[in-house]
Amino acid sequence: MRKTFQAIMLVLFSGLLFANNLAFARLKYDGGNWDTRVTAWGEIADFLVSISNVRAVREPLAISPESPELFNYPVVFMTGDAAFFEWKPAVIERLKKYFDAGGILIIDDSAGVKNSAFAGSVKRELAKIFPNEPLERINESNAIFLSFFLMPKVCGIRQAAPYLEGVERGGQLSVIFSENDMFGAWEKDKLGNWLKDCSPGGEAQRLEAQKLCVNVIMYAMVGTYKLDAIHTDYIRQKMNNLNMKIPGQAK
C-alpha cells in the first residue's frame, strides 16, 4: 500500500523531482535494510523549507544504483542497520562514474553503534569504489561544520563516533558517513511525537543532531561556499566573540 502511494506521489511530483529541488533519493540496495528511517525525510524537508531557502520535496524516493535516474540526483542518501550483500562490479563502476560526475553520497548508520555490520559493509564497498582514497575523519575545519549552523556537535540519536568520516576528492567531499543515526533524530509517529529517544544527551542531543543534518545537506547543495574569505573572517570573529575554539588554531 505504502509503495503504491509512493509511486502515485512520484508520478504527481515527477516534474518537481526532476527540477532543481532537493529530493531525498535513497539508495536501494540488496540485503540488509535500506529503508530504515521511513518518516524522517518529510520532517527534514519541512524543517529545511521553514528555516532556509532550500527547496525540498517531502516525498522520498528509492533509487537503485543501476537505475538511469541515479544521475538526476547529485545527492543520494543511504541508510541501513545491517550487513548487506556485496555490490556487483557493474554497480561499483556506475557509482565510480556518479562520484566522478560530482555526485555526493550521504550515509547514515541507523544501528547507531561503532563498527556495526552495516558500517562494515559500507566500508567494504567504498574501498572498492575508492581504492586510493580512503574513508577518513572529516577535519573540524571542513566547510561541512560551517555550512549553516556554527560547529554543531557530531551526534545522532546515538553518539557512536564523535566525528564524521568522508572521502574527499578535488577539494569536495564525495561521501559523508555518520555512525550516529543522524536521520533517526527526525522520525515521528502519526501524532507528531518523536519515535526515538536520544541518548545519552536527551533532547539537546536531538537538536545538535538536527543541526548537523542541516549542515550536511546544505554542504551537499552549496559545497565549500562557507570557506570563502568573506565568510571565514566573519565566522572567525563570531567564534572569537563566543569564545569558541577556532579549528586549526591554538586557543
Instruction: Kindly state the cell numbers that stand for 63.
Output: 533509487
**42-62 in b/e burial notation, b at 16+ Cβ within 10 A?**
bbbbebbbeeeebebbbbbbb
Residue placing its CB nearer to other proteins in the complex, 33 or 52: 52
Which position among 6, 33, 39, 52 is part of the footprint of other proteins (CB under 8 A)?
52
Which position among 225, 240, 245, 247 is part of the footprint of other proteins (CB under 8 A)?
225
Residue 84 · residue 118 · CB < 8 Å:
yes
Residue placing its CB nearer to other proteins in the complex, 54 or 135: 54
Give the single-character DSSP code of 194.
B
Residue placing its CB nearer to other proteins in the complex, 14 or 199: 14
Q: How far apart are CA 41 and CA 45, in angstroms?
A: 6
CB burial of residue 131 (10 Å; 0-12, 13-18, 19+): exposed
238 touches other proteins (CB under 8 A): yes
Task: Give Cβ neighbours of residue 138 (< 8 Å, ≥ 6 apart).
Answer: 144, 163, 164, 165, 166, 168, 173, 176
The residue ranges of DSSP E strands in 39-128, in sequence order, are 61-63, 75-80, 104-109
Minimum CB–partner distance for residue 235 and other proteins (Å): 5
Task: Give Cβ neighbours of residue 116 (< 8 Å, ≥ 6 apart).
Answer: 81, 109, 160, 179
HSE-CB for 37 with a 13 A CA cutoff: 32
Which position among 5, 8, 30, 97 is part of the footprint of other proteins (CB under 8 A)?
97
18 touches other proteins (CB under 8 A): yes
Which position among 54, 57, 164, 198 is part of the footprint of other proteins (CB under 8 A)?
54
Minimum CB–partner distance for residue 56 and other proteins (Å): 10
50 touches other proteins (CB under 8 A): yes
71 touches other proteins (CB under 8 A): yes
Q: How far apart are CA 171 and CA 142, in angstroms?
A: 10
Minimum CB–partner distance for residue 214 and other proteins (Å): 10
Minimum CB–partner distance for residue 20 and other proteins (Å): 5
Minimum CB–partner distance for residue 249 and other proteins (Å): 17
* From 4-12, 153-161, 193-201, 224-232, span contacting other proteins (CB under 8 A): 224-232
Residue placing its CB nearer to other proteins in the complex, 72 or 115: 72
Closest CA relative to residue 196, chosen from 188, 81, 35: 188
Q: How far apart are CA 20 and CA 74, in angstroms?
A: 10
* From 107-115, 129-137, 181-189, 237-245, span contacting other proteins (CB under 8 A): 237-245
The site for other proteins (CB under 8 A) is made up of: 15-16, 18-20, 50-55, 68, 70-72, 74, 94, 97-98, 100-103, 146-150, 170-172, 207, 211, 218, 220-226, 228, 230-231, 234-235, 238, 241-242
